[in-house]
Structure 1
Protein backbone atom coordinates (compact mmCIF):
# COMPACT_ATOMS: atom_id res chain seq x y z
CA UNK A 1 0.00 0.00 0.00
CA UNK A 2 1.06 3.55 -0.75
CA UNK A 3 0.62 4.72 2.85
CA UNK A 4 3.12 2.06 3.92
CA UNK A 5 5.62 3.47 1.40
CA UNK A 6 5.09 6.94 2.84
CA UNK A 7 5.45 5.63 6.40
CA UNK A 8 8.74 3.94 5.46
CA UNK A 9 9.89 7.12 3.70
CA UNK A 10 9.07 9.20 6.81
CA UNK A 11 11.19 6.92 9.02
CA UNK A 12 14.40 8.55 7.81
CA UNK A 13 13.03 11.85 9.18
CA UNK A 14 11.63 10.32 12.38
CA UNK A 15 8.12 11.36 11.31
CA UNK A 16 6.48 7.99 10.57
CA UNK A 17 4.32 8.19 13.72
CA UNK A 18 3.02 11.64 12.73
CA UNK A 19 0.90 10.22 9.90
CA UNK A 20 -2.78 10.43 10.76
CA UNK A 21 -5.12 7.70 9.52
CA UNK A 22 -8.75 8.73 9.53
CA UNK A 23 -11.73 6.41 10.03
CA UNK A 24 -13.37 7.94 6.96
CA UNK A 25 -12.25 9.11 3.56
CA UNK A 26 -10.13 12.24 3.21
CA UNK A 27 -9.92 11.92 -0.57
CA UNK A 28 -11.27 15.42 -1.30
CA UNK A 29 -10.43 18.77 0.24
CA UNK A 30 -13.83 18.94 1.93
CA UNK A 31 -13.63 15.41 3.35
CA UNK A 32 -10.04 15.93 4.49
CA UNK A 33 -10.93 19.21 6.21
CA UNK A 34 -13.82 17.54 8.01
CA UNK A 35 -11.66 14.58 9.06
CA UNK A 36 -8.80 16.81 10.26
CA UNK A 37 -11.10 19.36 11.89
CA UNK A 38 -9.67 22.33 9.97
CA UNK A 39 -10.84 24.78 7.32
CA UNK A 40 -10.59 23.44 3.74
CA UNK A 41 -7.89 25.98 2.81
CA UNK A 42 -5.44 24.26 5.23
CA UNK A 43 -5.64 21.01 3.28
CA UNK A 44 -2.55 20.82 1.07
CA UNK A 45 -3.92 19.30 -2.11
CA UNK A 46 -1.51 17.72 -4.53
CA UNK A 47 -2.21 17.95 -8.26
CA UNK A 48 -0.20 16.14 -10.91
CA UNK A 49 0.43 17.44 -14.41
CA UNK A 50 2.20 16.29 -17.55
CA UNK A 51 5.66 17.77 -17.78
CA UNK A 52 7.95 18.12 -20.77
CA UNK A 53 9.70 14.88 -19.78
CA UNK A 54 7.81 13.35 -16.87
CA UNK A 55 5.43 14.87 -14.37
CA UNK A 56 5.02 18.12 -12.47
CA UNK A 57 3.53 17.87 -8.99
CA UNK A 58 2.14 21.01 -7.38
CA UNK A 59 1.07 21.10 -3.75
CA UNK A 60 -1.28 24.01 -3.01
CA UNK A 61 -3.76 25.25 -0.43
CA UNK A 62 -7.19 23.64 -0.52
CA UNK A 63 -8.91 26.84 -1.64
CA UNK A 64 -6.46 27.56 -4.46
CA UNK A 65 -6.89 26.77 -8.14
CA UNK A 66 -4.23 26.59 -10.82
CA UNK A 67 -4.03 29.84 -12.77
CA UNK A 68 -3.38 28.77 -16.36
CA UNK A 69 -1.55 32.01 -17.23
CA UNK A 70 0.78 31.77 -14.24
CA UNK A 71 1.32 28.05 -14.84
CA UNK A 72 2.30 28.62 -18.47
CA UNK A 73 4.62 31.48 -17.50
CA UNK A 74 6.33 29.31 -14.85
CA UNK A 75 6.60 26.02 -16.74
CA UNK A 76 6.46 27.08 -20.40
CA UNK A 77 3.58 24.77 -21.23
CA UNK A 78 -0.15 24.42 -20.82
CA UNK A 79 -1.43 22.78 -17.62
CA UNK A 80 -2.63 19.28 -18.50
CA UNK A 81 -3.45 16.98 -15.61
CA UNK A 82 -2.34 13.38 -15.51
CA UNK A 83 -5.02 10.70 -15.76
CA UNK A 84 -5.67 8.62 -12.63
CA UNK A 85 -3.57 5.80 -14.07
CA UNK A 86 -0.73 8.16 -14.99
CA UNK A 87 -0.82 9.67 -11.49
CA UNK A 88 -0.27 6.21 -9.99
CA UNK A 89 2.44 5.45 -12.56
CA UNK A 90 4.40 8.64 -11.82
CA UNK A 91 3.76 9.21 -8.11
CA UNK A 92 3.08 5.70 -6.83
CA UNK A 93 -0.07 7.03 -5.12
CA UNK A 94 -3.75 6.71 -6.00
CA UNK A 95 -5.85 9.80 -6.67
CA UNK A 96 -7.14 10.94 -3.28
CA UNK A 97 -3.84 9.96 -1.67
CA UNK A 98 -1.40 11.64 -4.07
CA UNK A 99 1.24 13.43 -2.05
CA UNK A 100 4.78 14.75 -2.48
CA UNK A 101 6.30 11.98 -0.36
CA UNK A 102 8.02 8.70 -1.32
CA UNK A 103 8.09 9.49 -5.03
CA UNK A 104 10.67 7.13 -6.45
CA UNK A 105 10.87 8.38 -10.04
CA UNK A 106 13.50 10.95 -11.00
CA UNK A 107 11.31 12.42 -13.76
CA UNK A 108 8.77 13.82 -11.28
CA UNK A 109 9.40 17.36 -10.04
CA UNK A 110 7.65 18.65 -6.92
CA UNK A 111 6.74 22.32 -6.51
CA UNK A 112 5.09 23.95 -3.51
CA UNK A 113 2.72 26.85 -4.09
CA UNK A 114 2.87 30.10 -2.11
CA UNK A 115 -0.85 29.75 -1.30
CA UNK A 116 0.09 27.55 1.68
CA UNK A 117 2.49 30.06 3.26
CA UNK A 118 -0.32 31.95 5.03
CA UNK A 119 -0.89 29.02 7.42
CA UNK A 120 1.18 27.85 10.39
CA UNK A 121 0.56 24.26 9.33
CA UNK A 122 -1.10 22.41 6.44
CA UNK A 123 -2.31 18.85 5.95
CA UNK A 124 -1.09 17.00 2.83
CA UNK A 125 -2.21 13.43 2.18
CA UNK A 126 0.16 10.63 3.16
CA UNK A 127 -0.35 8.10 0.39
CA UNK A 128 -3.93 6.91 0.94
CA UNK A 129 -7.44 8.32 0.65
CA UNK A 130 -7.80 8.43 4.44
CA UNK A 131 -4.48 9.82 5.64
CA UNK A 132 -2.66 13.08 6.24
CA UNK A 133 0.28 14.57 8.09
CA UNK A 134 0.35 18.00 9.71
CA UNK A 135 3.42 20.00 8.66
CA UNK A 136 4.60 23.58 8.59
CA UNK A 137 5.87 24.88 5.25
CA UNK A 138 9.54 24.37 6.09
CA UNK A 139 8.83 20.74 7.04
CA UNK A 140 6.78 20.23 3.89
CA UNK A 141 9.70 21.50 1.80
CA UNK A 142 12.21 19.33 3.67
CA UNK A 143 10.10 16.15 3.46
CA UNK A 144 8.93 16.46 -0.16
CA UNK A 145 10.58 14.11 -2.64
CA UNK A 146 12.22 15.76 -5.66
CA UNK A 147 11.47 19.26 -4.33
CA UNK A 148 12.44 21.92 -6.89
CA UNK A 149 11.19 25.27 -5.55
CA UNK A 150 8.30 27.36 -4.29
CA UNK A 151 6.10 28.79 -7.03
CA UNK A 152 3.18 31.20 -7.38
CA UNK A 153 0.91 29.51 -9.93
CA UNK A 154 -2.47 29.57 -8.18
CA UNK A 155 -5.43 31.90 -7.95
CA UNK A 156 -8.51 32.22 -5.79
CA UNK A 157 -6.78 32.34 -2.43
CA UNK A 158 -5.68 35.96 -2.17
CA UNK A 159 -8.02 38.37 -0.45
CA UNK A 160 -7.77 40.80 -3.37
CA UNK A 161 -8.99 38.33 -6.00
CA UNK A 162 -12.18 36.42 -6.55
CA UNK A 163 -12.25 32.63 -6.40
CA UNK A 164 -13.13 32.01 -10.05
Structure 2
Protein backbone atom coordinates (compact mmCIF):
# COMPACT_ATOMS: atom_id res chain seq x y z
CA UNK A 1 0.00 0.00 0.00
CA UNK A 2 2.94 2.35 0.47
CA UNK A 3 3.35 3.00 -3.24
CA UNK A 4 -0.36 3.84 -3.39
CA UNK A 5 0.20 6.41 -0.65
CA UNK A 6 3.06 7.95 -2.64
CA UNK A 7 0.94 7.96 -5.82
CA UNK A 8 -1.83 9.77 -3.94
CA UNK A 9 0.74 12.21 -2.55
CA UNK A 10 2.12 12.98 -6.02
CA UNK A 11 -1.35 13.21 -7.56
CA UNK A 12 -1.90 16.47 -5.69
CA UNK A 13 0.99 17.87 -7.76
CA UNK A 14 -0.14 16.22 -10.99
CA UNK A 15 2.96 14.02 -11.33
CA UNK A 16 1.81 10.60 -10.09
CA UNK A 17 2.14 9.33 -13.67
CA UNK A 18 5.91 9.99 -13.52
CA UNK A 19 6.36 7.13 -11.03
CA UNK A 20 8.03 4.15 -12.65
CA UNK A 21 7.29 0.62 -11.47
CA UNK A 22 9.57 -2.23 -12.48
CA UNK A 23 9.02 -5.97 -12.91
CA UNK A 24 12.32 -6.43 -11.03
CA UNK A 25 13.59 -5.24 -7.67
CA UNK A 26 15.06 -1.77 -7.29
CA UNK A 27 15.49 -2.22 -3.53
CA UNK A 28 19.22 -1.43 -3.46
CA UNK A 29 21.26 1.13 -5.37
CA UNK A 30 22.81 -1.34 -7.83
CA UNK A 31 19.44 -2.91 -8.70
CA UNK A 32 17.74 0.49 -9.02
CA UNK A 33 20.48 1.73 -11.35
CA UNK A 34 20.15 -1.41 -13.44
CA UNK A 35 16.34 -1.13 -13.62
CA UNK A 36 16.58 2.55 -14.61
CA UNK A 37 19.61 2.25 -16.87
CA UNK A 38 21.45 5.05 -15.05
CA UNK A 39 24.66 5.49 -13.06
CA UNK A 40 24.34 4.21 -9.46
CA UNK A 41 25.33 7.56 -8.00
CA UNK A 42 22.15 9.13 -9.45
CA UNK A 43 19.99 6.91 -7.24
CA UNK A 44 18.76 9.05 -4.35
CA UNK A 45 18.84 6.62 -1.45
CA UNK A 46 16.90 7.47 1.68
CA UNK A 47 18.46 6.39 4.98
CA UNK A 48 16.56 6.35 8.28
CA UNK A 49 18.10 7.24 11.64
CA UNK A 50 17.03 7.53 15.26
CA UNK A 51 17.78 10.76 17.07
CA UNK A 52 17.82 9.66 20.71
CA UNK A 53 18.29 13.12 22.23
CA UNK A 54 15.37 14.57 20.28
CA UNK A 55 13.38 11.31 20.41
CA UNK A 56 12.82 11.63 16.69
CA UNK A 57 13.36 9.73 13.46
CA UNK A 58 15.05 11.47 10.56
CA UNK A 59 15.55 10.62 6.91
CA UNK A 60 18.66 11.65 5.01
CA UNK A 61 18.52 11.47 1.22
CA UNK A 62 21.98 10.93 -0.28
CA UNK A 63 23.52 10.12 -3.64
CA UNK A 64 23.82 6.43 -4.40
CA UNK A 65 27.61 6.41 -4.13
CA UNK A 66 27.78 8.38 -0.86
CA UNK A 67 28.35 6.84 2.55
CA UNK A 68 27.51 8.39 5.91
CA UNK A 69 30.61 9.91 7.50
CA UNK A 70 30.19 9.31 11.22
CA UNK A 71 32.25 12.35 12.25
CA UNK A 72 30.31 14.69 9.95
CA UNK A 73 27.03 13.19 11.14
CA UNK A 74 27.96 13.73 14.79
CA UNK A 75 29.04 17.32 14.10
CA UNK A 76 25.77 18.03 12.32
CA UNK A 77 23.32 16.24 14.63
CA UNK A 78 25.29 16.23 17.93
CA UNK A 79 25.02 12.49 18.40
CA UNK A 80 26.32 9.38 16.70
CA UNK A 81 24.54 7.90 13.70
CA UNK A 82 22.10 5.17 14.70
CA UNK A 83 20.10 3.65 11.86
CA UNK A 84 16.63 2.29 12.47
CA UNK A 85 16.52 -1.49 12.85
CA UNK A 86 14.96 -3.41 9.98
CA UNK A 87 11.86 -4.28 12.01
CA UNK A 88 11.30 -0.60 12.91
CA UNK A 89 11.44 0.91 9.43
CA UNK A 90 7.99 0.31 7.97
CA UNK A 91 6.14 0.98 11.22
CA UNK A 92 8.00 4.26 11.71
CA UNK A 93 8.43 5.58 8.16
CA UNK A 94 5.34 4.01 6.54
CA UNK A 95 7.44 2.55 3.71
CA UNK A 96 9.10 -0.88 3.54
CA UNK A 97 12.84 -1.43 3.35
CA UNK A 98 13.89 -1.03 -0.26
CA UNK A 99 11.12 1.48 -0.85
CA UNK A 100 11.91 4.04 1.85
CA UNK A 101 11.53 7.50 0.36
CA UNK A 102 11.07 11.08 1.52
CA UNK A 103 7.47 11.31 0.26
CA UNK A 104 4.24 10.75 2.19
CA UNK A 105 5.99 10.09 5.50
CA UNK A 106 4.59 10.95 8.93
CA UNK A 107 4.92 14.65 9.78
CA UNK A 108 6.99 13.74 12.84
CA UNK A 109 9.80 12.48 10.58
CA UNK A 110 12.31 15.19 9.65
CA UNK A 111 13.86 15.01 6.17
CA UNK A 112 17.34 16.20 5.23
CA UNK A 113 18.97 16.34 1.81
CA UNK A 114 22.69 15.65 1.57
CA UNK A 115 25.06 17.84 -0.46
CA UNK A 116 26.16 14.75 -2.43
CA UNK A 117 22.98 15.13 -4.51
CA UNK A 118 23.68 18.65 -5.76
CA UNK A 119 26.10 17.53 -8.49
CA UNK A 120 23.25 16.04 -10.56
CA UNK A 121 20.58 17.62 -12.74
CA UNK A 122 18.14 14.83 -11.82
CA UNK A 123 18.08 11.94 -9.36
CA UNK A 124 15.89 8.87 -8.82
CA UNK A 125 14.41 8.33 -5.34
CA UNK A 126 12.22 5.32 -4.57
CA UNK A 127 8.45 5.74 -4.32
CA UNK A 128 7.38 3.57 -1.42
CA UNK A 129 7.98 0.10 -2.83
CA UNK A 130 11.08 -1.99 -3.58
CA UNK A 131 10.41 -1.78 -7.33
CA UNK A 132 9.65 1.89 -7.99
CA UNK A 133 11.32 5.25 -8.61
CA UNK A 134 10.68 8.73 -9.94
CA UNK A 135 13.06 11.04 -11.77
CA UNK A 136 13.17 14.49 -10.17
CA UNK A 137 15.32 17.57 -10.60
CA UNK A 138 17.05 18.76 -7.45
CA UNK A 139 14.61 21.70 -7.29
CA UNK A 140 11.68 19.24 -7.53
CA UNK A 141 13.25 17.03 -4.85
CA UNK A 142 13.35 20.09 -2.58
CA UNK A 143 9.78 21.00 -3.47
CA UNK A 144 8.21 17.58 -2.92
CA UNK A 145 10.09 16.45 0.19
CA UNK A 146 9.24 19.14 2.70
CA UNK A 147 12.87 18.88 3.80
CA UNK A 148 14.30 20.67 6.85
CA UNK A 149 17.65 21.70 5.35
CA UNK A 150 20.65 20.61 3.30
CA UNK A 151 23.35 18.78 5.26
CA UNK A 152 26.88 17.60 4.52
CA UNK A 153 27.15 14.23 6.30
CA UNK A 154 28.56 11.94 3.59
CA UNK A 155 31.92 10.82 2.23
CA UNK A 156 33.31 8.87 -0.75
CA UNK A 157 31.60 10.81 -3.45
TM-score relative to the length of structure 2: 0.96
Q: Hey, what does 2:127 align to over in structure 1?
A: 126
Residue aligning to 2:6 = 6
Give the drift of 1:89.
1.7
Tell me, in whole angstroms, the C-alpha distance in 2 between the residues paired with 1:116 and 1:88.
24
Superposed counterparts of 1:49-64, under 5 Å: 49-51=49-51, 52-64=54-66
Counterpart contact for 1:53–1:107, Cα < 8 Å: no
Runs of 4+ in 1 over 4 A off after TM superposition: none
Aligned ranges 1:1-164 → 2 under 5 Å: 1-51=1-51, 52-103=54-105, 105-145=106-146, 147-157=147-157
Q: Secondary structure of 1:80's match?
A: coil
Contact 1:125 1:132 in 2 (8 A): yes
Report how far residue 85 of structure 1 moved: 2.3
Contact map agreement 1:120 1:136 (CA 8 A) in 2: yes
Scaled by the length of structure 1, what TM-score is found? 0.92
- Cα distance in 1 for residues equivalent to 2:18 and 2:45: 18
- How many Å apart are 1:120 and its aligned residue? 0.7
Shift of 1:106: 2.7
Aligned length: 155
| Distance across 1 between alignment mates of 2:150 and 2:131 | 26
Q: Which runs of 5+ in 1 are unaligned?
A: 158-164
Shift of 1:90: 1.8
1:50-94 CA distance string (max 9 Å, x none): 012220100000000000011001111110000122211221000
Gaps (5+ residues) in structure 2? Answer: none
1-structure distance, mates of 2:107, 2:6:
17
1:10-62 Cα deviation digits (max 9, x unpaired): 01111100000011000000000000000100000000000122201000000
